[in-house]
A and B are shown apart, each in its own frame.
Chain A
Amino acid sequence: MLHFLTCFLLFALQSPSAGPVEGSHTPAAESAASVGDVPGKAATSQGTVQPAPKSPSESTPAKAEPIETVSTSSHDTSRLGYLVAAVLFILGIKGMTHPRTAVRGNMLGALGMLLAVIVTLLITETPTWVIVTGLLVGGSVGLFFATQVQMTQMPQLVALFNGFGGIASVLVAGVESLKLGDTDERVGSFAAAVAGLIGAVTFTGSLVAAGKLQELKMFWKPWSFTGQQAVNAALVVGCLGLAVLMLFVGSANWVFWPLIILAGVLGVFLVCPIGGADMPVIIALLNSYSGLAAAAAGFAIDNIVLIIAGSLVGASGLILTSIMCKAMNRSLANVLFAKLGPTADGPSADDVYEGKIKATSAEEVAMLLDGVNRVVIVPGYGLAVAQAQHMARDLANFLEAKGVTVEYAIHPVAGRMPGHMNVLLAEADVPYEQLKEMDAINPTLNQVDVAIVIGANDVVNPVANTDPDSPIAGMPILNVYEAQTVIVIKRSLSPGFAGIPNPLFAADNCLMLFGDGKEVLLDLITALKEG
């Protein structure tokens, strides 16, 4: 919808602005406009481009006059528009602080973006057909993804979009580095280098993260090699060295491209070893990077709205990153650089589970739930995969009707991105008051009659407290093993994202209810109604 509107306005606005405005070529206008947002100017010596099919009039004056610029009033309008857009972004994010205002907040953000695009069209000299085609293609792809993807695939989609933002910043910085090639705009070139560096790390890192979240075989297992940190450090030094070269040497802007390649490799190496419950951290961090890349690109092309919007997003991602790290009681450095993945000397699944697993049936659980006072539902990523959130709510409603207190215990890093479980349960109309954060519910879990774990694994794995060598060591968990009885609804005994066995499943007070979350819950509700 947005892109249709954008394109419509684009057609309406492009015609008076792009081409024949050369009437205002006063020196004053030029100097006023020279503060950077006329990127076409530095390059118009090569401006004899092929005539655009839709607007041949544009290229003709470019041939006749080597320097073409846009009127001062257009530039003032665009700057004013950028200011309003920046305010809309801030109000938009502010709207996100409450569910009631969040929808409006998001719309304000979109409105700000639309405004920023429109006022840019007033001053841009990029050929219309390039813009229109680009907007149409990108808008359609975005529209397709956004409407066709299921809620469960949201984490990898956000990661993918994030990567696209990163590569866009790289390309913008690349164009600018070409323009600034032999000029003495050294600071601009350096900013372009930084934008390229962060953007490329964001791009490849986000693609690997998306691949991991999609559980593609080649990315699924955390992957690392000996000396990786030394290589990463060398890559960082190399990238920074090339960036500094661009700061001081006028003819060195070609190193932008090798810099991008190094940074791209760095992004892959940084994200590949990350796995397990650490995914939400890296997603939040990459989110921050995409903003910082846009801000750096803003410095490079001297555009204020890029700087403001980019730094807002950068700050947002950094805060989320720090919240996620706190939820795991780990530092960011630890998440990024500590060795992860199942250790070779950890106990095997057979050692942990052999002869100790008690499978149960829906009927048995229905009897168990008869006459209880307090039930806690612990959702995990498996709930999302099975699309069982509506069934979980039905179960909760049924129990509540019988006078049972039902709550949901939400681990901050349950699922694959910050707040993942909250979104799913909101989809099922679960009221807020029933969603309890980890710190709020952990002290009372020993007074719970039945804890029903649906598709969660790592976030309820007591190994986090007991085994300092495990990949999830030190991560605060939901202490569901303290409940009188624990029912674990799960397809099989396969390990969670961390790839390690869970002794909870073998505990004395734990019963396994194997099967697809949705079907099992349906059976359970049926059994409860009959019983």
Chain B
Amino acid sequence: MDLLSAITIFVLAIFIGFEIITKVPPTLHTPLMSGSNAISGITLVGALLAGTTSLGQFFGFLAIVFAMVNVVGGFLVTHRMLAMFKKKG
């Protein structure tokens, strides 16, 4: 992927983000933050690709652990919060 394509995708994704998120009501700000926080754990994918060198393995391992805490913890905590909203139906 060339740099310009990457930048194009980056800019368009930011616009999509702005468009969707301005519609989120204040009531859901906390779950939105914690849920999007979990999504930012996507860096886990980068960590999984750390490679085979000893340094790569070492840093990769740490990165996997940290990112995984972010991902698993983030989604579960968001779910816990949202479950309370759901009750009202």
Chain A interface (Cβ < 8 Å from any Cβ of B): 1-3, 35-37, 39-40, 42-44, 46-47, 49, 62, 82, 86, 89-90, 92-94, 96-100, 102-103, 105-107, 109-110, 112-113, 116-117, 120-121, 123-127, 130-131, 133-135, 137-139, 141-143, 145-147, 149, 151, 154, 157-158, 161-162, 164-165, 167-169, 171-172, 174-176, 178-179, 187, 283-284, 287, 290-291, 293-295, 297-299, 301-317, 319-320, 323, 410, 412, 417-420, 422-423, 426-427, 429, 431-432, 435, 437
Contacts and interface: CB of A to CB of B under 8 A. Distances in A.
Contacts of A157: 73, 77
A174 B59 contact: yes
A303 B85 CA distance: 35
Interface string B8-31: 011001111110111111111111
Contacts of B80: 146-147
A311 B46 contact: no
A310 to B, nearest CB: 6
A126 B67 contact: no
Given A174-B59, A291-B40, A168 B73 contact: no
A299 B6 contact: yes
In terms of DSSP, what is the predominant structure of the interface of chain B? helix
A83 B11 CA distance: 16
Contact of A154 (B34, B41, B66): B34
Given A106-B35, A127-B57, A307 B6 contact: yes
B43 to A, nearest CB: 4
Contacts of A176: 46
A319 B69 CA distance: 25
Given A138-B66, A165-B37, A291-B36, A419 B30 contact: yes
B60 A99 contact: no
A357 B67 CA distance: 50
Given A35-B1, A303-B46, A97 B24 contact: yes
Contact of B37 (A47, A102, A162, A171): A162
A305 B45 contact: yes
A417 B31 CA distance: 10
In terms of DSSP, what is the predominant structure of the interface of chain A? helix
Contacts of A175: 50-51, 55-56, 59-60, 63
Sorted nearest first, the 6 A-B pairs with minimum C-beta distance are A138-B68, A315-B17, A134-B64, A419-B29, A142-B72, A142-B73
Contacts, number: 400
B14 A426 contact: no
Nearest to B55: A178
28 contacts: A2-B72, A40-B52, A103-B86, A110-B75, A116-B45, A117-B45, A134-B47, A138-B68, A142-B70, A157-B73, A171-B60, A172-B50, A175-B55, A176-B46, A178-B53, A179-B51, A283-B33, A290-B40, A291-B39, A294-B43, A313-B37, A314-B17, A315-B17, A315-B18, A316-B17, A423-B84, A426-B27, A426-B87
A312 B36 CA distance: 8
Interface string B73-89: 11111111111111111
Contact of A97 (B6, B20, B61, B66): B20
Contacts of B10: 295, 299, 307, 311
A343 B39 CA distance: 40
Contacts of A319: 17-18, 21-22
A126 B60 CA distance: 8
B49 A120 contact: yes
Contacts of B72: 2-3, 138-139, 142-143, 146
Nearest to B86: A103
A429 B44 CA distance: 36
Given A130-B64, A294-B42, A313 B51 contact: no
Given A37-B49, A127-B52, A304-B1, 11 more contacts: A35-B1, A97-B20, A102-B82, A102-B86, A103-B79, A112-B39, A113-B38, A291-B36, A419-B26, A422-B29, A426-B27
Contacts of A169: 43, 46
B48 to A, nearest CB: 5
A287 B36 contact: yes
